[in-house]
Structure 1
Amino acid sequence: MERSDFHHPYTPYDVQLQFMQTAYDVLERGDGQIGILESPTGTGKSLSLICSALSWLRNHKKSQYEGEISSAKEKLQDEPDWMVEHMLRRKREEIVQRWKDREARLAKVRAMEKELEERGSKRRRVGEAATKQRRDVDEEAEFLLDDWQDDGEVNADDPLSMFSKETRALMEKAGVAFSRDHEDEVDEPDEIKIFYTSRTHSQLSQFIAELRRPSFPSSVPSLDSNAQPEEPATEGVKHIPLSSRQRLCINPAVSRLGTLSAINDRCAELQQPKTKEKCPFVPNADNLTNTHRFRDTALATVPDIEDMYHIGKTLQVCPYYASRTAIPGAEIIILPYPLLLQQSARDALGINLKGNVVIIDEAHNIMDAVSNVYAAEIRLTELRKARQALGVYVKRFGKKLKGENRIMVAHVAKVVESLSQWLDAAMTAKGAHGIVDANLLLKGKGADQLNLYKLIRYIQESKLAYKVESYAAYVEDDGSTSHKPSSNPVLHSLNSFLTALTNLSTEGRIFYEKLPSSPPDIKLSYLLLSPTHAFSSIASSARAVILAGGTMSPFDDYKAHLFPSLPAEKITTLSCGHVIPPSNLCVWTLASTKPIVNATTAVADTFEFSFQKRSDKAMIRQLGRVLLNICTVVPDGVVVFFPSYGYLDEVVGVWQSPDTTATADAGLLWVRLQSKKAVFRESKGGSSDEVLQQYTAAILGDATEVAGTSSTKTRGALLLSVVGGKMSEGINFSDRLGRCVVVVGLPYPNINSPEWKARIEYIESSTLARLCDETTTGKTRDEAVAASKQAARDFYENSCMRAVNQSIGRAIRHQEDYAAIVLLDRRFGTERIRSKLPGWIRGGMVAGSEQKGLQGMMGALNSFFRSKKDQAS
Structure 2
Amino acid sequence: MDEVTEGVQKLDFHHPYTPYNVQTQFMTTAYNVLQQGEGRVGILESPTGTGKSLSLICAALTWLRNHKKESYESSMTEAAKEFKDEPDWIVSRMLKRKHEELLRQWEEREARLKKIRAKEKMEEERRSKRRRIDDPSSGKASTGEQDDDQWLLEDADGQDASLDNEYSSSVGKETRELMEKLGFISSHKNEEEENVEENEVKIYYTSRTHSQLSQFIAELRRPTFPPSLPGSIIDENSSADSEGIKHVPLSSRQRLCINPSVSRLGSLAAINDRCSELQQPKAKGKCEFVPKSDNISQTHQFRDNVLATLPDIEDLFDLGKKLQVCPYYASRTAIPGAEIITLPYPLLLQKTARDALGIKLGGNVVIIDEAHNIMDAVANVYASEIGLRELRRARQMLGVYVKKFGKKLKGENRVMVAQVARVVDGLSEWLDNALKLKSEQGIVDPNALLKSKGIDQINMYKLIQYVQDSKLAYKIEGYVAQVEEQDDNNSAHPTSTTPVLHTLVSFLVSLNNLSSEGRIFYHKVPGKDQQDIKLSYLLLSPTHAFSSIAASARAVILAGGTMSPFADYTAHLFPDMDPGKITTLSCGHVIPSSNLCVWTLASSKPKTGDASRVEFEFSFQKRSDKVMVRELGVAILNLCTVVPDGVVVFFPSYGYLDEVVKIWSEASSNPNPAAAASQPKSSIWERLQAKKSVFQETKGGSSSDEVLAQYSEAILGSSGGRGALLLSVVGGKMSEGINFSDRLGRCVVIVGLPYPNINSPDWKARIEYIESTTLERLSASASASSSTAVLSKAQMAAQAKQAARDFYENSCMRAVNQSIGRAIRHRNDYAAIVLADRRFAGARIREKLPGWIRGGMVDGSEDAGLGQMMGKLGGFFRGRKGS
Q: Which range is displaced more, 122-131 or 59-68?
A: 122-131
Q: Post-superposition shift, 1:748? A: 0.5
User: Residue 802 of structure 1 aligns with which residue?
Assistant: 814
Q: Give the 3 Å change call, closer, same or farther, for CA 315–274 of structure 1 in structure 2.
A: same
Q: 1:605 corresponds to which residue?
A: 614
Does structure 1 residue 674 correspond to structure 2 residue 692? no
Report what 1:461 is aligned to: 469
Alignment check: 8 A CA contact 1:174 1:284 kept: no
Are the counterparts in 1 of residues 197 and 336 from structure 2 also a CA contact under 8 Å?
yes
> Are 2:698 and 1:683 equivalent residues in the alignment?
yes
1:162 Cα offset (Å) = 10
The CA deviation string for residues 714-765 of structure 1, in whole angstroms up to 9 with x for no partner, is: 6211111111111101111111111111111000011111111111111111
* Between 445-454 and 515-524, the greater mean CA deviation after superposition: 445-454
Greater Cα shift, 680-689 or 612-621: 680-689
Question: 558, 562, 580: which is aligned to 1:551?
Answer: 562
1:767 to 2:774 alignment = yes
SS of 1:625's partner is helix
The residue type paired with residue 542 of structure 1 is A
Structure 2 residue identity aligned to 1:581:
P
Alignment correspondent of 2:803: 791
Name which of 27, 37, 48 aligns with 2:44. 37
Task: Letter of the 1:748 partner, please give it.
Answer: Y
CA drift at 1:593: 1.6
SS in 1 for 2:49: coil
Trace 1:288-437 onto structure 2 (pairs within 5 A): 288-437=296-445
Residues 723-734 of structure 1: pairs in structure 2 closer than 5 A: 723-734=730-741
**Quick one: which amino acid aligns to residue 207 of structure 1?**
F
The aligned counterpart of 1:102 is 109
Q: Which amino acid aligns with 1:512?
A: Y
Give 2:510's match in structure 1, choosing from 486, 500, 516: 500
**TM-fit CA distance, 1:79:** 1.6
Q: Distance in 2 between matches of 1:130 and 1:594?
A: 69
The residue aligned with 2:184 is: 176
Superimposed CA distance per residue, residues 578-604 of structure 1 (whole angstroms, 9 cap, x where no aligned partner) = 000111111110111221269xx9983
| Residue number among 661, 669, 672 corresponding to 1:652 in the alignment | 661
Aligned positions of 1:459-538 closer than 5 A = 459-478=467-486, 486-517=496-527, 518-538=529-549
Tell me the residue number matched to 1:15.
22
Paired AA for residue 606 in structure 2: P
Q: CA separation in 2, counterparts of 1:135 and 1:758?
A: 53
Please state how far the C-alpha of 1:172 moved relative to its aligned partner: 3.1
Q: Is the 8 A contact 1:631 1:677 kept in 2?
A: yes
Identical-pair percentage:
67
Alignment check: 8 A CA contact 2:143 2:482 kept: no
The answer to whether the 8 A contact 1:735-1:812 is kept is yes
What is the match of residue 709 of structure 1?
none
1:421 Cα offset (Å): 1.0
8 Å Cα contact 2:485/2:494 also seen in 1: no
Aligned residue for 2:574? 563
The 8 Å contact of residues 466 and 485 in structure 1, kept in 2 or not, is answered as no
What is the root-mean-square deviation of aligned Cα atoms in Å?
2.6
Contact 1:222 1:229 in 2 (8 A): no
Q: 8 Å contact 1:96–1:222 — kept in the other structure? A: no
User: Residues of 2 paired with 1:720 and 1:433: CA distance?
Assistant: 30
Indicate the SS of the match to 1:328: coil
Give 2:562's aligned amino acid. Answer: T
Shift of 1:804: 0.3
Show CA shifts across 1:502-545 (max 9, x none): 22421111011111112221100000000000000100000000
Return the letter of the residue paired with 2:710.
Q
Q: State the distance in 1 between where 2:87 and 2:154 align.
A: 68
| Corresponding residue SS for 1:442 | helix
Q: State the partner residue of 2:835.
A: 823
Aligned to 1:235: 243
Find the residue that maps to 1:88 and give its secondary structure: helix
Shift of 1:160: 5.2
Q: Which one of 600, 607, 611 corresponds to residue 589 of structure 1?
A: 600
CA drift of 1:779 comes to 1.2
Instruction: Report the AA paired with residue 725 of structure 1.
Output: G
Correspondent of 1:166 among 159, 165, 171 = 171
Q: Does 1:749 align with 2:761?
A: no
The TM-score normalised by the length of structure 2 is 0.93
For residue 663 of structure 1, give the secondary structure of its aligned residue in structure 2: helix
Counterpart residue identity of residue 380, structure 2: N
Q: Is the 8 A contact 2:651 2:730 kept in 1?
A: yes
Partners of 1:160 and 1:434 lie apart in 2 by: 37
SS of residue in 1 equivalent to 2:183: helix
Deviations 1:33-70 (A, max 9, x none): 01000000000000000000000000001111111211
Supply the distance in 2 between the matched residues of 1:514 and 1:831 (Cα, whole angstroms).
40
Structure 2 vs 1, CA of residues 134 and 369 (structure 1 numbering), >3 Å: closer, same or farther?
Answer: closer
Are 2:713 and 1:692 aligned?
A: no
Number of equivalenced pairs? 852
Q: Once the two structures are superposed, what CA deviation does each residue of 1:236-278 show, in whole Å capped at 9, x if it has no partner? A: 0000000111111111111111111111111111111111201
Question: Secondary structure of the residue that 2:650 maps to in structure 1?
Answer: strand
Rounded Cα–Cα distance in structure 1 between residues aligned with 2:473 and 2:346: 22
| TM-score, reference length from structure 1 | 0.94
**1:124 and 1:724 mapped to 2: Cα distance?**
33
Q: Is the aligned partner of 1:633 residue 2:642?
A: yes
Q: Which runs of 5+ in 2 are unaligned?
A: 1-6
Residues 300-359 of structure 1: CA deviation (Å, up to 9, x unaligned)? 000000000000000000001100111111000000000000001001101111110000
Distance 1:727 1:130, change over 3 A: closer
Q: CA shift at 1:445, angstroms?
A: 2.5
Deviation at 1:702, TM superposition (A): 3.4
CA distance in 1, matches of 2:143, 2:57: 53
Is contact 1:223-1:230 (8 Å) kept? no
Q: Quote the residue 2:69 is aligned against.
A: 62
Report the Cα distance in structure 2 between the residues aligned to 1:789 and 1:408, rounded to whole angstroms: 47
Counterpart residue number, 1:257? 265
Match of 1:540 among 542, 547, 551: 551
Deviation of 1:180 after TM superposition, in Å, equals 14
> For residues 591-620 of structure 1, what are the alpha-carbon distances to aligned partners after superposition, in whole Å with 9 as ceiling and x for unaligned?
11221269xx99831100000000000001
Change (3 A) 1:567 1:497: same
Q: Which amino acid aligns with 2:631?
A: Q
Letter in 1 for 2:504: L
> Which residue number in structure 2 is paired with residue 444 of structure 1?
452
Unaligned runs of 5+ in 1: 705-713
- Residue 86 (structure 2) aligns with: 79
Change (3 A) 1:578 1:613: same
Q: Could you list the per-position Cα deviations for residues 7-48 of structure 1 after superposition, in whole angstroms to 9, with x for gaps in the alignment?
A: 000000000000000000000011110100000000000000
1:146 aligns with 2:157: no
SS in 2 for 1:572: strand
Q: Distance in 2 between matches of 1:239 and 1:45?
A: 19
Corresponding residue SS for 2:695? strand
Tell me how far 1:379 sits from its aligned partner: 0.6
Equivalent in 194, 207, 219 of residue 210 of structure 1: 219
CA separation in 2, counterparts of 1:70 and 1:550? 42
Q: Residues 232, 848 of structure 1: CA spacing in aligned structure 2 closer, same or farther, 3 A cutoff?
A: same
Q: 1:851 deviation in Å?
A: 0.6
Kindly indicate whether the alpha-carbon contact (under 8 Å) linking 1:259 and 1:487 is maintained by their aligned counterparts in 2.
no
* Structure 2 residue matching 1:276: 3-state secondary structure: coil
Work out the CA distance in 2 between the residues paired with 1:206 and 1:188.
Answer: 31
Secondary structure of 1:443's aligned partner: helix
Q: Distance in 1 between matches of 2:248 and 2:400?
A: 44
* Partner in structure 1 of residue 3 of structure 2: none
Q: Quote the Cα distance in structure 2 between the aligned partners of 1:290 and 1:179.
A: 22
1:656 and 1:669 in contact (8 A); partners too:
yes
Shift of 1:785: 0.5
Residues of 2 paired with 1:368 and 1:761: CA distance? 18
Indicate if the aligned counterparts of 2:131 and 2:315 stay in contact, CA closer than 8 A: no
Provide the rounded CA distance (Å) in 2 between the counterparts of 1:722 and 1:611: 16
User: Deviation of residue 177 (structure 1)?
Assistant: 5.7
Change (3 A) 1:734 1:129: closer
